[in-house]
Structure 1
Amino acid sequence: MKKIYTLLLLSFFALTAAAQTDTTTNSKKLTKAETEEFFTTAFKKKNLINFPIFRAYTYHDKSGTYYVALSESADTVNKEKDTVNYTVKAFNFKVDKTTRVKKWEINDFKTPTVKGDEKESSIWFWTKYCEFKDLDGDGLIDPIIVYGTFGHEGYTDGRAKILVYYKGIKTAIRHQNSVVDATRKTQVDVTFYSLPAPIQTHIKELMEKMVKNKHAIFPTEYAEKMDKKAVSIGNE
């Protein structure tokens, strides 16, 4: 009986230690109440968060605790009763005791309408692909933010952008969808190739998932070309 008790006690400590280890790279989506508690009216005004917060997250790792807000302009509602956004903004704040410091910000917008010619109808965050994970096992979360636009044909001629923050440095993959080879293009920041291999692999898998879900049309050999450090990828 004593041995069983000892084993149970050791198991408890092992589970507790594992749980404590997991919390160093923990993240969660905030509820509406939790979002409003952190992103108060005064706080939003001070930090120029002028758009409605569509989704908010918190995560913590060995460097501290962070809060992320994804906001969209919500300019109008179309005939399908979908919210149409002309602009998106994201904010990342680090919390240290009583101080809240902005670490990075994202600002982007749909292609402006010129002389009645509307190339894109809306832009929004693709939270299906947004992640807050430690991808290379260094104890630091590597946030991935994904958003995109709708063109005349929806996803097939809209744009997509993948942003990954590694140790606070942003790396972007910008993509123009098209069913026509000549107008389909992917631009990869050169910093992508200095990212740890697990992060590069994860981003490529994410791109493959986007293709599978028909949210992106990447060139057939895009993965191979990215391996060859092609900064601009097309179907030449």
Structure 2
Amino acid sequence: MKKLYVLLCMAFLMLQASAQSDSTHSHTLTKAETDDFFTPAFKKKNLINFPIFRAYTYSDKSGTYYVALSESSDKIKAKDTINNTIKAFNFKVDKGVATKKWEINDFKLPDTKGATIESSIWFWTKYCEFTDLDGDGLIEPIVVYGTFGNNGYDDGRLKILVYYKGQKSAIRHQNGVLDGERKTQVDLTFYSLPAKVQAHVKELMEKMVKNNHAIFPSKYLDKMAKKATQIAD
């Protein structure tokens, strides 16, 4: 009887996890879908003044959301779009009413003494995700963006933003070829995130290194993992 009870409990937990997974959904909006939701009137009301580069929608047990990633598109240079500023917006839709839940604002570093520090800033949609990482039925949005320095990615900046139950945790990183040029700042709130979320972000960071988009020494990533374990203990 006891064995049967354990099996029933396990089956219930598996069904519950499956139901939570099935209750979440996300996808990238087409241009037509983007224009349908982010109408000129809606953009004007919510001060979305830059062109929307990419838009998403996602749903979980807390509701339905729409996200717009917008870039200033200041000029075209060698077929590349140069952005001085970026903004992102997250709206929750309930009974036909859209309420802004969070907003991201950032810009490339200004020139100093006639020297260009950064040439452009943009969203790295290759690493942006809207997934339920810990199986609690809530999606954890991850938004990543960065800049080009004088040597491209090698001395640019990047920022990883993780939204967990409405709270933002950030990892800010300055790339650099030399050890002394690199600097990484991790919000303390990041180490309070579920282990699965932290592990996934670390995997993203490793992927950035593999793709030559960031320079995170392996010993630093190991240090992050060790600190997460110490805080959990």
Query: 2 CA distance for matches of 1:22 and 1:35?
Result: 25
Residue 98 of structure 1 deviates from its aligned partner by 1.7
SS in 2 for 1:170: strand
Q: Which residue of 1 aligns with 2:30?
A: 31
Question: What amino acid is the match of 2:40?
Answer: T
8 Å Cα contact 1:23/1:60 also seen in 2: no
8 Å Cα contact 1:184/1:219 also seen in 2: no
Residue 227 of structure 1 deviates from its aligned partner by 2.7
Task: List, as ranges, runs of 4+ consecutive aligned residues in structure 1 with deviation greater than 6 Å.
Answer: none
SS in 1 for 2:100: strand
After the TM superposition, which residues 56-95 of structure 1 pair with which residues of structure 2 at under 5 Å, given as runs? 56-78=55-77, 80-95=78-93
Matched, 1:152 2:150: yes
Could you say if the C-alpha distance between residues 128 and 98 of structure 1 is closer, same or farther in structure 2, counting changes exceeding 3 Å?
same
Query: 2 CA distance for matches of 1:68 and 1:229?
Result: 32
Could you say if the C-alpha distance between residues 22 and 192 of structure 1 is closer, same or farther in structure 2, counting changes exceeding 3 Å?
closer
Query: 2 CA distance for matches of 1:188 and 1:22?
Result: 29
1:220 equivalent among 218, 221, 226: 218
Q: With structure 1 as the length reference, what TM-score do the two structures score?
A: 0.87
Residue 66 of structure 1 deviates from its aligned partner by 0.1
SS in 2 for 1:217: coil
Query: 2 CA distance for matches of 1:21 and 1:229?
Result: 30
After the TM superposition, which residues 86-105 of structure 1 pair with which residues of structure 2 at under 5 Å, given as runs? 86-105=84-103
Could you say if the C-alpha distance between residues 21 and 136 of structure 1 is closer, same or farther in structure 2, counting changes exceeding 3 Å?
closer
Q: For structure 1, which runs of at least 5 residues remain unmatched after alignment?
A: 1-17, 231-236
SS in 1 for 2:55: strand
8 Å Cα contact 1:150/1:158 also seen in 2: yes
Query: 1 CA distance for matches of 2:218 and 2:94?
Result: 46
Residue 115 of structure 1 deviates from its aligned partner by 2.9
Could you say if the C-alpha distance between residues 63 and 20 of structure 1 is closer, same or farther in structure 2, counting changes exceeding 3 Å?
same
Query: 1 CA distance for matches of 2:24 and 2:154?
Result: 35
SS in 2 for 1:91: strand
8 Å Cα contact 1:91/1:102 also seen in 2: yes
After the TM superposition, which residues 41-52 of structure 1 pair with which residues of structure 2 at under 5 Å, given as runs? 41-52=40-51
Query: 1 CA distance for matches of 2:135 and 2:40?
Result: 36
Matched, 1:168 2:172: no
Q: With structure 2 as the length reference, what TM-score do the two structures score?
A: 0.88
Q: Which residue of 1 aligns with 2:209?
A: 211
Query: 2 CA distance for matches of 1:22 and 1:32?
Result: 27
Query: 1 CA distance for matches of 2:163 and 2:55?
Result: 17
1:143 equivalent among 141, 145, 150: 141
Query: 1 CA distance for matches of 2:101 and 2:23?
Result: 19
Matched, 1:107 2:105: yes
Matched, 1:199 2:197: yes
Q: For structure 2, which runs of at least 5 residues remain unmatched after alignment?
A: 1-16, 229-233
Deviation sequence 1:89-111 (CA, Å, 0-9, x none): 00000000121100000000000
8 Å Cα contact 1:162/1:174 also seen in 2: yes
8 Å Cα contact 2:160/2:171 also seen in 1: yes
SS in 1 for 2:200: helix
8 Å Cα contact 2:20/2:136 also seen in 1: no
Query: 1 CA distance for matches of 2:28 and 2:137?
Result: 20
8 Å Cα contact 2:21/2:137 also seen in 1: no
SS in 1 for 2:204: helix
> In angstroms, what is the RMSD of aligned CA positions?
1.7
Deviation sequence 1:37-77 (CA, Å, 0-9, x none): 00000100000000000000000000000000000000011
Residue 22 of structure 1 deviates from its aligned partner by 4.8
Question: What amino acid is the match of 1:186?
Answer: T
Deviation sequence 1:132-151 (CA, Å, 0-9, x none): 00001100000000000000
